[in-house]
């Protein structure tokens, strides 16, 4: 019993040190993708930035029709950026998630609906506890149809009267997407305890419930 109590005490002491307020961690084992193979004609791509990509990836992996998600960096001026470069906010990149989805099971409009409910659209250059331009919310469109749908969804939200503040989420063309370091991929699966601790202490779900009235 003495040993068990000591171990629990050590865990409580070390957890805040292991999990920083920002979306970061030093290393983790690789988890192989289990994405289903589907015909190319049914496979489409979407890219969303909603703050920490650990959380965005986790949220979209739950959506039926989503085949795979990849955490990465987009929108900057430096080729092949590292996490540490992006985290300075000086490269112009945003933490984002590239999504491949089966268009026979879902569509871009449904993904947009999901996206809005997973972000705080009222803050610029910040999402929850993560502050900086690299954490801003952005919808990156891959074609004119996605652009039109994104603009319509944003205008619809603005006209709904739900918020009195302006919607700060940007709509931009997709540029070169760089896959993040392997330890960031499927982080919520590789490190569930650390991920849950980070997400809770970042206040993400509490804020989402305040904004949308939905518990995550």
Which residues form the catalytic set? 52
| Token pair in block for residue 89 | 């906010």
How far is the C-alpha of 60 from the C-alpha of 125, rounded, in Å? 22
Q: Determine contact, residues 74/177, Cβ cutoff 8 Å.
A: yes
């Amino acid at each position: 019993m003495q040993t068990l109590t000591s171990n629990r005490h050590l865990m409580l002491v070390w957890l805040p040190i292991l999990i920083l307020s920002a979306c970061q961690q030093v290393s983790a084992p690789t988890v192989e993708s289990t994405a289903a193979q589907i015909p190319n004609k049914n496979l489409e791509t979407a890219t969303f930035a909603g703050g920490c990509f650990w959380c965005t990836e986790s949220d979209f992996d739950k959506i039926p029709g989503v085949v795979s998600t990849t955490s990465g960096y987009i929108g900057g001026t430096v080729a092949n950026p590292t996490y540490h470069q992006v985290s300075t906010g000086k490269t112009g990149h945003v933490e984002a998630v590239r999504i491949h989805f089966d268009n026979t099971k879902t569509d871009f409009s449904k993904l947009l609906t999901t996206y809005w409910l997973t972000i705080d659209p009222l803050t610029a250059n910040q999402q929850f506890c993560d502050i900086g331009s690299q954490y801003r919310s952005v919808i990156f469109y891959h074609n004119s149809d996605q652009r039109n749908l994104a603009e319509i969804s944003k205008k619809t939200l603005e006209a709904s009267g739900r918020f009195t503040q302006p919607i700060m989420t940007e709509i931009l063309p997709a540029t070169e997407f760089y896959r993040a370091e392997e330890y960031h991929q499927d982080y919520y699966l590789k490190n569930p305890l650390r991920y849950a601790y980070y997400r809770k202490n970042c206040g993400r779900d509490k804020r989402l419930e305040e904004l949308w009235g939905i518990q995550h």
